[in-house]
Amino acid sequence: MRIATMNIQNLFHRDLSFLRQNASKNLQDWMEEFQSLLKNPNKEHQELGRMRELAFLMGFSPQATEPFLTLRQKGGHLYVKPLGGERQTRATERVGWNGWVELRTYPLDEKHRNAKVECIAKANPDILVLQEVEDRASLSDFNRDYLGPKLGGAFEQWLFTEGNDNRGLGHAILTRNGYRIVGFQPHAHERDREGKDLFEMDCPEYTVVTPTGDELTIISARFQQDGKDLDFGGKRKEQAQKVRTYCDRLLMQEKKGIVVCGTLGEVSYGDCLRPLLGDKTLRDLPDHLRLETVNGIRQNKLSNNESIGGWLAKHDYLLSSVPLHTGIQQCGVHFPSVLREREGGKCLFPGSSKNRVSASMPPLLWADFKL
């Protein structure tokens, strides 16, 4: 039985809030470009136009940013309210309305999506668990149009679960080769000590039955990430403690096949993950001697506190209960790699200082379990 997990970081489109998180970096780049153009005494028409664009992006332009109209949805129909007007006109072909709508998402680059697909195809899993999937329709298209051709057929069963994230991000599980999803338990209702949502993106618990009739419980987690100048270590520890209670409940029910996977937002030796990793009830992949592949390169010295092949301060995990962990036949890590034209089409892997794009993409973790 091969299980793989990956924080996919959206399939086709991503919320604009991710761009706003990088606003300070963009502003710095714009200022540097503006200053370089400003120093040129003989500016051409194209350069002057670029300076106007940069001035607008940096907020120097006095151009108004108020909308020309507001587009609303009522009863399944679209209505237009002109700025300062009271009358609403339905936006249909009959009235000949033309306009624009500000989107909440932006499309992802095809090459990054293909890099993720290649990782999944390399692992060729029976069970695939994904975090940060934007919606059910995208998962369906991704399974049919991208994974299907690469794997010789799409996953037969799949389930998308949306959590508390206001961007709609959620978790997904896909199975094939006779592995069936027979149960699902959400934990989006859990509250932290302050009465707020404990899990930003839920922490679903899936029950899967193998072709031989064995039962497996998979918990997909995506713990709180640190923000700019904010440390959510306390929140992550509270999340880890809650997930540990789920595992203890399953062990009390004599369920030995337990997997906890996803982005836990902390290094394995950090205090936040002590409830999950402290007593070795759940074991991590680097604890296993058969972790041999990082982008196809044999790495026998990969450990919890080392940076090998770009896996710096890893935050992604594939934990398993002791009976499952002792039955691991092989396991590995695949990093998405992107072909760059300016590098002569060379495939760059993490560990190279030039490969910032690939190194920033979460890896895919996989393991072969003998039941």
List the beta bridge partners of residue 5: 129, 365
Span 138-146, mean pLDDT?
Answer: 94
- Map out the domains of the chain as residue ranges: 2-14+107-369, 19-57, 69-102
User: In the predicted model, is pLDDT for residue 151 greater than 60?
Assistant: yes
List the beta bridge partners of residue 217: 207, 258
* CA 245 to the chain's CA centroid: 25
Hey, is 116 helix, strand or coil? helix
C-alpha radius of gyration, the chain, whole number: 24
User: In the predicted model, is pLDDT for residue 236 greater than 70?
Assistant: yes
| Per-residue tokens: 121 | 């195809």
Angle at 47 between CA 42 and CA 48, to 5 degrees: 90
pLDDT digits (tens, 9 = 90+) for 348-367: 333 333 443 444 678 899 99
Q: How far apart are CA 292 and CA 268, in angstroms?
A: 19
Q: Are strands 338-339 and 297-298 parallel, antiparallel or unpaired?
A: unpaired
Span 323-333, mean pLDDT?
Answer: 90
Which positions ≥6 away from 305 have C-beta within 8 Å?
Answer: 267, 268, 269
Q: Are strands 297-298 and 316-321 parallel, antiparallel or unpaired?
A: unpaired
Confidence grade of residue 228 (pLDDT, cut at 50, 70, 90):
low
Residue with tokens 């592995």: 179
Among the listed residues 339, 332, 341, 334, the one whose alpha carbon sits nearest the alpha carbon of residue 357: 339
Confidence grade of residue 221 (pLDDT, cut at 50, 70, 90):
very high
Confidence grade of residue 47 (pLDDT, cut at 50, 70, 90):
confident
pLDDT at position 233, please? 85
pLDDT digits (tens, 9 = 90+) for 60-71: 665 545 555 566
Q: pTM (2 decimals)?
A: 0.73
Q: How far apart are CA 319 and CA 268, in angstroms?
A: 11
Average pLDDT of the residues of the chain = 78
Percent pLDDT > 70 in the chain is 69
CATH number of 2-14+107-369: 3.60.10.10
pLDDT at position 366, please? 93
Q: pLDDT: is 273 or 13 the higher one? A: 273
| CB-CB contact of 128 with 139 (8 Å) | no
User: In the predicted model, is pLDDT for residue 346 greater than 50?
Assistant: no
Confidence grade of residue 48 (pLDDT, cut at 50, 70, 90):
confident
User: In the predicted model, is pLDDT for residue 22 greater than 80?
Assistant: no
| CB-CB contact of 219 with 239 (8 Å) | no
| CB-CB contact of 203 with 164 (8 Å) | no
